[in-house]
Structure 1
Amino acid sequence: MSEKKDVTVESQITPELDAEVRAKADELIAQGVCSTRTARDGVNQATINAWTDAMGINDPRWTSGEAPESMAQVWTMYALGGTKDPHDPLHAMMDWLTERGFRGVLGTNVEQTYVRRLEVGEVPRLEMRLESVVGPKATGMGEGYFVTALTEWFVGPEDAPELVATMLFRVLKFIPKPRKKPSKFVLYPTKNRDTEFFWEGTAAGELRVQKCNACGALRHPPGPSCPECHAFDRGYVVSTGEGTVFSHVMHHHPPIPGFEMPIHTALVDLDEGVRMLATVDVANGGTVEIGDRVEVAWRTVDENLTLPMWRKKA
């Protein structure tokens, strides 16, 4: 665990509870690898084809016996309706925290490292352990702990395994902060190094589209690498903010904090050639239909968040 921080009198996490959390975390961390799983099926071309089709990737490397690196997690995922491993350290720590009032959970980040590509015919297996529990931490959502699990994927004999990929998966387990005005609560989008340019743009009144500086391809949503040339050289262009409605839906349930129901949402083909999803500014522009021309508008939630909206073009 990290160096202990002072727990203030106002905190919902008492020194006694903090000590319990630390003891439980140390217990699970000391167990080391406590969850293992072997892929039900070996790496195969049919699954690679289905995955690349779903992702919209067309690259000859993925039809010649190699699997994309980012498929590492696919091979050992639970089957539909599968039961989670009772020894899974991440869920063990999360369930323990839930029982003690940390009912909120928020995924914060995933860090994957690829050592080499898997090849058709190989059967990967994973080993998982609890890496760390850091806190207590006061956030806008409430007070809690960052729980991180380390997963490693191997191939080859168990007495001489070869590491092919790793993943650090981190969540925040927290005691929800009491809210006097729930209607003002908003679910904030994740902001990281791949998306910060977009949200900095909305704050400045610009609709920014990610661009590959290597080949010039535009893409949305933002990501770390270009799906066309696989370069990591990221930039952006400022969209005109105009486009055509490709599809739309009226969302009635479940309710979403910060929005009045129903929520009219539209998927728009921007003139720059990418599709973008946002709500429709019904109050000022009315509802939209497929084929309507729209332009971007802005909804300022607070000083930290401005959301794009679609408004029917006059």
Structure 2
Amino acid sequence: MTGLCAGRVVVVTGAGRGLGRAHALAFAAEGARVVVNDLGVGLDGSGGGAGPAGPAQDVVDEITAAGGLAVAHGGDIATPEGARSLVAAAVDTFGGLDTLVNNAGFLRDRMLVNLGEDDWDAVMRVHLKGHFLPLRHAAEYWRAEAKAGRGRRARVINTSSGAGLLGSVGQGNYAAAKAGIVGLTLVAAAEMGRYGVQANAIAPAARTRMTESAFGDTMAAPEGGGFDAMAPENVSPLVVWLGSDASEGVTGRVFETEGGRITVMEGWRPGPTADTGARRTPAEAGATALRLLADAEPPQPVYGTR
């Protein structure tokens, strides 16, 4: 490895398994000191509990066995106390915080007519609030450091999804939360740049507990070896680069990444437009809308409809 993150302190949430585990191991391999957060819950968020034991400690053991430095954090990052203690774990153990990777999440998939309020709230809580609270406490730390003349080249990598960019049938709660994460990322990039913080988001596709339940055999590893396009480890190199000093100047961006592919997503941009300078009647507004739609690019299909 190149030591791209040598000396940096990195926090990864939801790092006990899947993408988070791959990110934590990849950062450690590049010289970072890593706080491995995982609550140890099931795929739907059930079970688990506070404390460092469980999957987070397993990843720490992997890192230390390879000669790296890591510490486990078992707190609930969707609570103010858990998020605050997460940042404190980095500062108290390793003397600071340079990179925050928000990755934790779970699924409670339902079609909209069957989607209960509890399932909505639980997914919003872990994905959207679970991004906001660690980011808020990390930002508070970085602002204080900058004001004290100890500014850091801080990095935030948030985890959105193709579901958040295009929508996904049966995942109204998840898609809405992941879309919210993109908005949160753009605001963080705009607000925190003055303190040396860069914020970007990824929309990864990889084989994890979540995707295996949703897509089944399409996520399976290839038989007989060869390149495993769905391996979580394929996503981590971009995350490590975004979390390093080498990404200087890259902020407010969203990247899709899958296998060997990286795509810069360009988001909402103004398309065809018309302005009469006066109020329209409903019929006139409709005629204008239809004319503009005829000139517009068709939307990308929602996942689950193609």
Task: Say which structure, 1 or 2, has more relative contact order (CA 8 Å, 6+ apart).
Answer: 2
TM-score by length of 2: 0.23
Structure having the larger proportion of residues in helix = 2
